[in-house]
Structure 1
Amino acid sequence: MARPRKPLLSTDRIVETARALVDAEGLAAVSTRRLAAELGVSGPSLYNHFRTKDQILEAVADSVSAQVDLSMFEDGRPWRDALHDWAVSYRAALRDHPHIVPVLARGPGRRPSGLKVADAVFGAMTAAGWPPAQATSIGALMRYFIMGSAIGSFAGGFVDDETAYDPADYPHLGQAHLLADRQEKVDERAFETGLTALLDGLEQQFRAL
C-alpha cells in the first residue's frame, strides 16, 4: 500500500495559515513553532520560504493589501468618487483583519500589494490635477484616517450595562449602554461622516488650485 503523500508546503499556504492565526488570536500567536504545528510540518521547513517571523507578518499584511479594490482608479471615476470608494474597500479589508493593522501602519516598505495601493492613489491624484506634494499628503491623510478607523470600535468601547453610566457622574451618557449592541451601524455611520467631511475639505482645496 502506497504511503500517503505529505501535503506540499507553499508560501501561499504559510501565509493563509498565519493570517488565520492573526485573525483569531492576534500577532503574538504567530511563531515558527506554532505555524509548523498548524501546517503539520517541521519548523526548519518554514525557513525555505521565510527566514523570520517578521517576514511572515509582512507577507500576511501584503495579502490583506491585495484584497483592496483599486479598479476605481482605472475606470475614469472622478478623483473624489474614486477616493471614497477606495477608502470603503480599504476599510472593509482592515475590518476583516484588524489585528494586522499595526504591521500595515509601518508603511508599504517593499510589500508589492502595498506599493500598488500607494502607486494607484498617487497616480490618480496627480492625473486629476493635484500637485505631487499635495497628492502625497492626500495618500498619507487617507491612510491615517482609514487605519485609525480600523484599530478599534468607538461604539464597542462602551459596556452594555446601564449602571456603568450613573447620571450623577455622566449626565449625557444615559443611552451609552446601547452603543455596544449597535456597534456596526454606529461605526459605519461615523466612518462615512468623517470620510465625507474629509473629502469636502479636499474638494475646497482642489477648487482653489
Structure 2
Amino acid sequence: MTESRPPAVWFTEEQPRKPRLSRDRIARGAVALLDAEGVAGLSMRRLAARLNAGAMSLYEYVGGKEDVLDLALDAVMGEIELDGAGAGGAGDPDRPRHLPWRDALTRQLVLTRDAMKRHPWLPALMATRPLLGPNSLARSEYFYSVLDRAGLEGPRLTAAVGSLTYYVQGYAATENVWRGLRHDPAQEAELRERAQRFIDHRAADHPALARHAQLANSDFDGSFTLGLETILDGIEAQLSH
C-alpha cells in the first residue's frame, strides 16, 4: 500500500536540486500571486507561469497547492521582525525579558496587523493552516516566552496567546474587507454619519447603543490600540491569581 503524504510541507525536508527552483523561490512567487489575486487566484499552473517554470516541475518541491500556501504563509510571517532580530530571524531568546511584557506583545501585534494589511489573505490562512514553519514557530515561541516570564502558565497562558492572536486576526480581516469596499473617504464618512443618525433616532428602543456606539469613528488605529489594551488589562489581572 502506498503511504499517504504528510499533511504539512514542514514534515518533509527539501531535497537539494539544481537552483532553477527552490521552496524559497516558490514561496516568494506565491506571495506575489496571492497579493495580486488572493487565494482563489492561486493555482499551480498560474504560479508556474509566474516563475517561468513548468507546472509539473513545482511538484518536485511541493506536494500541491496546500504546501504552497504553507510556504507563502511562513514567508510572510518572516516579515514580522522579532525583537533583537532581522526580518525572518529567530531573534535573541533572552531579549523578551528586557522589554516590559505589555510593550513586547503590543509591538509584535502591531507589526502583525501591518503584515495582515499588506497581505489581506493572511488572517484566513493563519486560522486554517498549521503554523509549523520556522518563522511561525519563532513567533509563537516569542509570545509564549514573554507570557511565561510575565507569570502565566498552563491553560491561562494558552488562552492569553489565543485571545491576542484571534483579536488581531479578526480585527485585520474586518478592516481589510471594509477598506476593500470603501475607497472614498468622503463617502465613508457620509455612510458612518447616516448610520449614527439612524441609531440616534431610535434611542428609545436602543438606549445603550445611542449612548455608547460611535459609528462615525473611522480611526482604525486608535480602536485597535484601545481594544488591545483592554485584552492586555485582562491578562494582567490574571497575573495576581
Q: Which TM-score applies when normalising by structure 2? A: 0.71
Cα distance in 2 for residues equivalent to 1:166 and 1:198: 30
Moved more, 69-78 or 120-129: 69-78
Cα distance in 2 for residues equivalent to 1:84 and 1:165: 31
1:170 and 2:198 are equivalent in the alignment: yes
Cα distance in 2 for residues equivalent to 1:164 and 1:83: 32
For 1:120, the equivalent position in structure 2 comes to 142
For 1:46, the equivalent position in structure 2 comes to 58
Q: Which runs of 4+ in 1 moved over 3 A?
A: 154-159, 161-167
Query: Alignment partner of 2:198: what SS?
Result: coil
> Residue type matched to 1:96 in 2?
R
Residues 68-99 of structure 1 deviation map (CA, whole Å, 9 limit, x = unaligned): 22217724111111111111111111111111
Cα distance in 1 for residues equivalent to 2:121 and 2:134: 20
Cα distance in 1 for residues equivalent to 2:61 and 2:99: 40
Residues 91, 32 of structure 1: alpha-carbon distance in 2 compared, 3 angstrom cutoff? same
Percent identical:
31
> How many residue pairs get matched?
195
Give yes or no for contact 2:23–2:71 (8 Å, CA) kept in 1. no
Question: What is the deviation of 1:148?
Answer: 0.7
Give yes or no for contact 1:21–1:30 (8 Å, CA) kept in 2. yes
Gaps in structure 2 of 5+ consecutive residues: 1-18, 85-92, 202-213
Cα distance in 1 for residues equivalent to 2:178 and 2:221: 10
Question: What is the deviation of 1:42?
Answer: 0.9
Alignment partner of 2:155 out of 133, 145, 148: 133
1:98 and 2:131 are equivalent in the alignment: no
Residues 164, 69 of structure 1: alpha-carbon distance in 2 compared, 3 angstrom cutoff? closer
Residues 48, 81 of structure 1: alpha-carbon distance in 2 compared, 3 angstrom cutoff? same
Gaps in structure 1 of 5+ consecutive residues: 1-6
Q: Which TM-score applies when normalising by structure 1? A: 0.81
